[in-house]
Structure 1
Amino acid sequence: MAFEIQTALFSLGGVVIGGGISSATTWLIARSERRKFAREKTWDVRRQAYTKIIAEMVVATSWANEMELGFRRNPREYEKSPKADKDSGEFAGCVVTAKRVFIANRLMLSQRFVAEFDAIMNDFERENRETLIQANLVSKIHEIFERGTKRLTEIGISETVANLT
């Protein structure tokens, strides 16, 4: 009789230990999957924000280029033309949209991206305050946006590569 009790207890102990190991393994896998899901979801939001901000910055750069070309061809005529008003309005619309997306997603963006976007906007606002000659202002703004868009794109690409590995 003692042998049967000992065998039953040994079997029961094996079941308890096996169940404990199985439960711990299941918990660890579920925890890992939750973290992976959260990381992927965060990256999806960040990627969408990067895409929208950079796209708006690229279009703004194109409009700044249009304005710069207009001032190079004939500054006096361009400055008073409806095309200048249209180009300026389109540029401003892109900048406003980029800022709105940035503000709406600021907590999800990387510190590098936030710092670079802030630097671009600070340079842009400083030039708007300090540069009095419209043709010079447009040239500087075009340069700021072209250089800044390139840096934002590089940050986005480096973070994409880092996220995939």
Structure 2
Amino acid sequence: MRVEIWVALIGLGGLLISALAGLGGTLLGSFLSQRTAKATALELFEIERVKAAQDKMWDHRRAAYSDIIAKLHLLVKASDELVEGFTDGEVPPEQFFASAYYDVCKKEATDAFKATRQSFDDARLVLSDLFSERYVEFRTAIYATDEDDDPPTSAFAVLKAATDAHADLLAIARAEVAPQLPQAD
């Protein structure tokens, strides 16, 4: 009988050990699963935080690009009006240059250029390097138009610089703000 008791106790101990091992494994698995879930949740939170910041940055960049390009378009229009005044044939270029309308057109072009500069300076933090570099090239070209040159030549130079920059900056903005999806083969 003693042997039977020992055998029963050993069997009961084995069952108890198996039950405790199963329970321990379940608890350990639950703990590890909870820890992994918590780490994943923290990682997803960080990804969402960065994504929200990037989205906000894109919103600011889109607004800045729109503002600069709109003001640059005003410069193109004002410069075109100056060039047209010199070349339309209605009045001689010298007479247009001496007119009050020339002063109005010149002021509009100057004000539009100053507005693009101010918008650029205000938004410099959010602009891409490519956009900034192209704008600085444009600004340098405008500064290079020699006021000592004859006014029609200066007007043509400003119009060309503004028109080229407008097209380039618009293309850069479109490519950055609304990137194209890859084409399927």
Compute the TM-score of the two structures, normalised by the length of structure 2: 0.82
Using the TM superposition, name which of 52-61 and 31-40 deviates more.
31-40
Please tell me whether residue 104 in structure 1 is matched to residue 119 in structure 2.
no
Unaligned runs of 5+ in 1: none
Matched with 2:8 is none
The structure showing larger relative contact order (alpha-carbon pairs under 8 Å, at least 6 residues apart) is 1
Report SS of the residue matched to 2:146: helix
Pairwise CA distance, 1:163: 7.9
- 2:88 is the alignment partner of 1:70: no
Counterpart residue number, 2:146: 128
Return the offset for 1:11.
2.2
- Rounded Cα–Cα distance in structure 2 between residues aligned with 1:156 and 1:34: 25
| 1:129-160 residue CA offsets vs partner (Å, 9 max, x unmatched) | 5x520111101111111111111111111112
Larger radius of gyration: 2
Structure 1 Cα separation of the partners of residues 97 and 133 of structure 2: 33
List 4+ stretches of structure 1 deviating above 4 A: none
SS at match of 1:107: coil
- Number of residue-to-residue matches in the alignment: 164
Q: CA RMSD in A?
A: 1.7
Structure 2 gaps, min length 5: 1-15
Q: State the distance in 1 between where 2:123 and 2:180 align.
A: 18
The structure with the greater share of residues assigned to helix is: 1
Residue 84 of structure 1: CA displacement?
1.1
Measure, in 2, the Cα distance between the counterparts of 1:100 and 1:68: 25
2:54 maps to a residue whose letter is R
